[in-house]
Structure 1
Amino acid sequence: MLEQIINKHATLAVIGLGYVGLPIALAFAKKIKVIGFDINSHRISLMQQGIDPSGELTTKDFEGCDITFTHSLDDLRKASFFIVAVPTPIDTHTMPDLKPLLSASATVGKVLKKGDYVVYESTVYPGCTEEDCIPILEQESGLIFKKDFKVGYSPERINPGDKEHTLSKITKVVSGCGEDSLHVISEIYKLVVEAGVHKASSIKVAEAAKIIENTQRDLNIALMNELSMIFDRLKINTYEVLEAAGTKWNFLRFSPGLVGGHCIGVDPYYLTYKSKELGHDPKVILSGRQINDAMGAYVAKRTVQLMAKQGKDIVKAKVLIMGATFKENVEDIRNSKVADVVNELRSFGVHVDIIDPHADSDELKHEYGFELVPQAGSNYDAIILAVSHTEYIKLEESFFESLSASKAVIVDIKGIYRNKIKRLEYWSL
């Protein structure tokens, strides 16, 4: 299999061409023959024109790639090595939503042949690949796992908006269903990962490693968010405290903020789901999730309190929110906690305008029920700098004054304008 892939006598397919799948597909396509498969025909049409629907990659990234973009099962049948990179979200009850993953498994199962390989990159709870996905592959293909086809797991580490920690520069965790499959999978990933691979002892270990990467970050950010609430009551600035504490060599540098997106705000729930299934109540992990999930409402309530202290009539107040994506410099709005800020403010009767140079207004309307305004207005009683887009980090105080009513409040969630706002009321986490 390995030699056939390298010599382009066999084809690698990537199923799911979003933030994770497309960079992987293009990286491999510069070395070997690739099929990029996605069920969304509109997205496929854009990629055939060298356009990344997610806005992360440029036309140049598509150049020199031996890749066929398709939504046809007939095209997918030509592949022998499949990488599944579909999203694994949570539902409204914070339960794992495996529908995209199980559907992708059924799709691969329909085209699976003897000798083929399937590698999952989607974030799942430990055991999911073997307990949930492989039975579907067997059922749809009529083949027997290990005897007829091999399976591995290699967790994605794509960070949207990060141009430094790219696929090739991050060590890739790989696993297989045996020594032979682990060797083949490792060598194939080495084609595109300059940083090398780490061979996990089992699929379950690799799944668990992915889950705790983001769970650890979630818990550390939750600690910072709780500290920010305490320090706010003490009337000291959290970022000044963190700067001082950060002079110690082993202090971990995390900061408070809104925790959304498709990784940190989602992955811990996959682990807690499996934990409860096994009879263990995960108190620490869920406590961190509770804090982080409540931060949007907390920011909104503090904004209302600050406006009230300035003598504002809350039901007549106007607030501008700058930024709607889940993090800076991306178009991704999945699980954006800015929506929680908007909804909480509106529950007080506040008029809210939202602007964002990266977000799509129609997507926000579909996902959260609010739209962007074409441009910022004036006479705002509060301005919330929610997302630190590049366009927002070097503004002058006069810019905020031009949009503000008298005695306006600047709410700077990430603290980027600390010590720079002198004339307006200033608050940050």
Structure 2
Amino acid sequence: MFEKLKNKEAKLSVIGLGYVGLPIALEFARKMKVIGFDIKPDRIEKMKQHIDPSNELEASAFEGCDIKFTSNPEDLKEACFHVVAVPTPINKHNLPDLNPLLSATRTVGKALKKGDYVVFESTVYPGCTEEDCVPVLEQESGLKFNVDFKVGYSPERINPGDKEHTLTKILKIVSGSDPEALEEISAVYGSIIKAGIYKASSIKVAEAAKIIENTQRDVNIALMNELSLIFNRLNINTYEVLEAAGTKWNFLRFSPGLVGGHCIGVDPYYLTYKANELGYHSKIITGGRFINDAMGPYIAKQVVKKLISKGHKINGSRVLIMGATFKENVSDIRNSKVADVYNELKSFSVNVDVTDPHASSKELMEEYGYGLVDKIDKKYHAVILAVNHDEYMKLDEVYFKSITVDDPLFVDVKGVFRGKIREMTYWSL
């Protein structure tokens, strides 16, 4: 298989051209013939013009790539090695939503031929590839697993906004449905990954490895958030405590904050779902999720309390939230916990404006029911720095005072302006 791909005698397809799929497709397209498939024609048209809809890649990233962008599933029949990189979100009940994954799997199944390979990159619970996806491939194709086609799992490790740890520089975990599949899949990915390949002993091990990467971070951040709740009652700054504790060589460096996005705030729910299915009810993981999901409303309530203590009337008071994306320097608003801050403030009849140099006002309106202000032309009772975009790091207290009333509140969620705000009332986690 790898030799055919390398010699351009066969084609590779990537299904799902988001922040994960597009970089993979372009990297492979520098070595072999690639079909880039996405169900959204408008996104395909942008990519044909060398525009990344996720705003992660420059136009130069498309140069020198042998790739055909398409939204026609019939084109997938030209490929014999398929990489599935679609989102795996959760629903409103915090349960796995496999609809995008299974839909993509059905699409691939219809195009599957004898001798083909399918590799899944989407984050799932252990067992999902073989127990949920493979039966769909068999049903749609009429072929037999590990006889007519083979499967692998190679978890994505893309970090949006990170220009240092890019695709080729991150060690790649790969797994296969049998030893031959493992070797072929390793060779295919090894042709583009400079950091090296790690061969997992099984697909389930690879699935589990991916999901605990983000679960571990989630639990550690939850501890920091819980500490911030305690230290707030003690009237000491969490970041000062962490700075002092960090002087010990083996102290792990995590910070409190809003935990959103499509990885840390989602993946643990896939693991707890599977655990519940097996009769085990997680305590630490679900406890961490509870704490992190509660931080948005907590921050909003602290703002309300502090405005009341200043004598400001809450009904009709004005608050500016700076930042709407799930993390700094990206345009991705998926599962942004800034929305929780916004909604909680609105429940107190606070007038809330939101600004963000990276987010799309239209996307925010469609996803959360609010957009961005065109310009800051009001005087606010409080400013909440929710996301540390580089553009905000260039600002100073003079600017923040210029857009606020007398005796305002400055909320610095991540503590980046600690020691720089002296004349405004300052609060951080």
Which TM-score tier does this pair reach, normalised by the shorter chain? over 0.9
Q: Please give the per-residue CA displacement for 1:88-108, whole angstroms capped at 9, x wherever unaligned.
A: 000000000000000000000
Q: Which amino acid is 1:260 matched to?
A: G
**Counterpart residue number, 1:406:** 406
Q: Please give the per-residue CA displacement for 1:124-165, whole angstroms capped at 9, x wherever unaligned.
A: 000000000000000000000000000000000001000011
1:412 Cα offset (Å): 0.3
d(CA) in 2 for partners of 1:264 and 1:207?
15
d(CA) in 1 for partners of 2:127 and 2:76?
27
d(CA) in 1 for partners of 2:133 and 2:257?
35
Does residue 278 (structure 1) correspond to residue 278 (structure 2)? The answer is yes
Q: Which runs of 5+ in 2 are unaligned?
A: none
Fraction of identical pairs, as percent: 68
d(CA) in 1 for partners of 2:279 and 2:213?
23
1:378 Cα offset (Å): 2.5
d(CA) in 2 for partners of 1:56 and 1:264?
19
d(CA) in 2 for partners of 1:141 and 1:316?
60
1:396 Cα offset (Å): 1.2
Is contact 1:258–1:292 with CA below 8 Å preserved after alignment?
yes
Output aligned runs, 1:112-131, within 5 Å.
Answer: 112-131=112-131
**Counterpart residue number, 1:78:** 78
d(CA) in 2 for partners of 1:90 and 1:136?
21
**Counterpart residue number, 2:418:** 418
Q: Please give the per-residue CA displacement for 1:99-125, whole angstroms capped at 9, x wherever unaligned.
A: 000000000000000000000000000
Is contact 1:378–1:405 with CA below 8 Å preserved after alignment?
no
Q: Please give the per-residue CA displacement for 1:31-80, whole angstroms capped at 9, x wherever unaligned.
A: 11111000100000100110001111110000000000001122111000
SS in 2 for 1:315: coil
- Normalised by the length of structure 2, the TM-score is 0.99
Report the number of matched residues: 429
1:375 Cα offset (Å): 1.3
d(CA) in 1 for partners of 2:419 and 2:24?
42
**Counterpart residue number, 1:428:** 428
d(CA) in 2 for partners of 1:191 and 1:304?
55
SS in 1 for 2:12: strand
**Counterpart residue number, 2:149:** 149
SS in 2 for 1:77: helix
d(CA) in 2 for partners of 1:100 and 1:249?
44
Output aligned runs, 1:326-405, within 5 Å.
Answer: 326-405=326-405
SS in 2 for 1:215: helix
- Normalised by the length of structure 1, the TM-score is 0.99
Q: Which amino acid is 2:357 matched to?
A: P
d(CA) in 2 for partners of 1:305 and 1:74?
58
d(CA) in 1 for partners of 2:349 and 2:395?
29
d(CA) in 1 for partners of 2:310 and 2:27?
54
d(CA) in 2 for partners of 1:24 and 1:316?
48
d(CA) in 2 for partners of 1:295 and 1:358?
23
d(CA) in 1 for partners of 2:176 and 2:250?
35
**Counterpart residue number, 1:214:** 214
**Counterpart residue number, 2:172:** 172
1:250 Cα offset (Å): 0.8
**Counterpart residue number, 1:89:** 89
Output aligned runs, 1:204-283, within 5 Å.
Answer: 204-283=204-283
d(CA) in 2 for partners of 1:180 and 1:244?
52
d(CA) in 2 for partners of 1:183 and 1:247?
45
SS in 2 for 1:64: coil
- Superposition RMSD on alpha carbons, in Å? 0.5
1:377 Cα offset (Å): 2.5
SS in 2 for 1:198: strand
d(CA) in 2 for partners of 1:409 and 1:151?
55
Q: Which runs of 5+ in 1 are unaligned?
A: none
Could you list the structure 1 runs, at least 4 aligned residues long, displaced by more than 2 angstroms after superposition.
Answer: none
1:379 Cα offset (Å): 1.6
d(CA) in 2 for partners of 1:404 and 1:378?
8
**Counterpart residue number, 1:161:** 161
Is contact 1:378–1:402 with CA below 8 Å preserved after alignment?
no
d(CA) in 2 for partners of 1:276 and 1:55?
37
Does residue 103 (structure 1) correspond to residue 78 (structure 2)? The answer is no
Q: Which amino acid is 1:212 matched to?
A: I
